[in-house]
């Protein structure tokens, strides 16, 4: 698929707005989960990036992150991931489980999985409502490892080409205890469908 620059910019604006609403829902869900802790949404970015460039989206390539990955099918197909720096994973789990985890057993991983599930599916709900489609999230997969290894595995599963259209949003608490990134990668074939559902198909 090729775009000219002006179309690109306009479409990215639309995706950014979509990201804004989706992430707004996700942030509210996370805030509830944390007993109404105040979370601030980071202004979302929609971008077309090269694969190598995208490696820097979740911190240094060798930094430790927690990640939740969900495959989206139904009216729109794509991939969603929630990426959290390790310190955020620790504070999140510490908050939910009552103690900061020293190592990751099934208990910690499944808690992280559930957090990701809640955050990502609330984002998807907003997306489904706006595009008037039915979206099915897969069972969330979870990993804690080097950022670049985790992110490249997601991209490999998505079989992305050289460039990725990505909507990225994050949230922060006022105490900066938790920050994270939500990435949505629509399948290339479905990107046009997504824009069409938003009334942008003919541009």
Partner 1 sequence: MEEVFVNIGEIKVLTQEGRLVAVGLGSCVGLILYDALAKVGGMAHVFLPTNRKGGDNPHPGKFADTAVAAMVEQMTALGAQKRRLKAKMAGGSQLFSYGASVMDVGRQNVEALQRELQTAGIPLVASDVLGSRGRKLIFDVGTGQVLVFVIGQEPVEL
- Contact between 69 and partner 1 by CB under 8 A: the answer reads yes
According to CB under 8 A, which one of 94, 161, 176, 203 is a site residue for partner 1?
Answer: 161
- Contact between 113 and partner 1 by CB under 8 A: the answer reads yes
> Residue 106: CA atoms inside 13 Å, Cβ hemisphere, count?
0
In a 10 Å sphere around its CB, with 0-12 CB exposed, 13-18 middle and 19+ buried, how is residue 105 labelled? exposed
According to CB under 8 A, which one of 10, 71, 95, 193 is a site residue for partner 1?
Answer: 71
According to CB under 8 A, which one of 7, 40, 100, 110 is a site residue for partner 1?
Answer: 110
Give which of 28, 22, 9 is closest to 80, Cα–Cα.
Answer: 22
According to CB under 8 A, which one of 46, 82, 147, 167 is a site residue for partner 1?
Answer: 147
Q: Which residues contact 42 (CB under 8 A, 6 or more apart)?
A: 169, 170, 171, 172, 179
List contacts with partner 1 (CB under 8 A): 51-52, 55, 61-62, 64, 67, 69-71, 109-110, 113, 138-143, 145-157, 159, 161-162
């Amino acid at each position: 698929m090729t775009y000219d620059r002006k179309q690109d910019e306009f479409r990215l604006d639309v995706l950014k707005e979509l990201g804004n609403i989706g992430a707004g829902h996700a942030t509210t869900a996370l805030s509830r989960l944390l007993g109404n802790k105040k979370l601030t949404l980071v202004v979302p970015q929609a971008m077309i990036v090269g694969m190598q460039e995208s490696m820097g989206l979740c911190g240094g390539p060798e930094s430790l992150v927690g990640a939740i990955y969900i495959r989206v099918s139904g009216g729109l197909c794509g991939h969603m991931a929630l990426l959290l720096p390790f310190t955020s994973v620790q504070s999140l789990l510490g908050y939910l489980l009552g103690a900061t985890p020293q190592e990751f057993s099934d208990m910690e991983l499944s808690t992280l999985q559930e957090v990701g599930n809640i955050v990502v599916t609330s984002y998807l709900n907003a997306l489904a409502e706006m595009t008037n489609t039915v979206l099915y999230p897969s069972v969330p997969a979870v990993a804690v490892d080097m950022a670049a290894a985790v992110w490249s595995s997601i991209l490999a599963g998505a079989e992305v080409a050289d460039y990725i259209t990505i909507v990225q949003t994050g949230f922060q608490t006022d105490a900066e205890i938790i920050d994270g990134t939500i990435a949505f990668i629509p399948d290339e074939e479905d990107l046009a469908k997504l824009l069409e559902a938003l009334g942008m198909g003919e541009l």
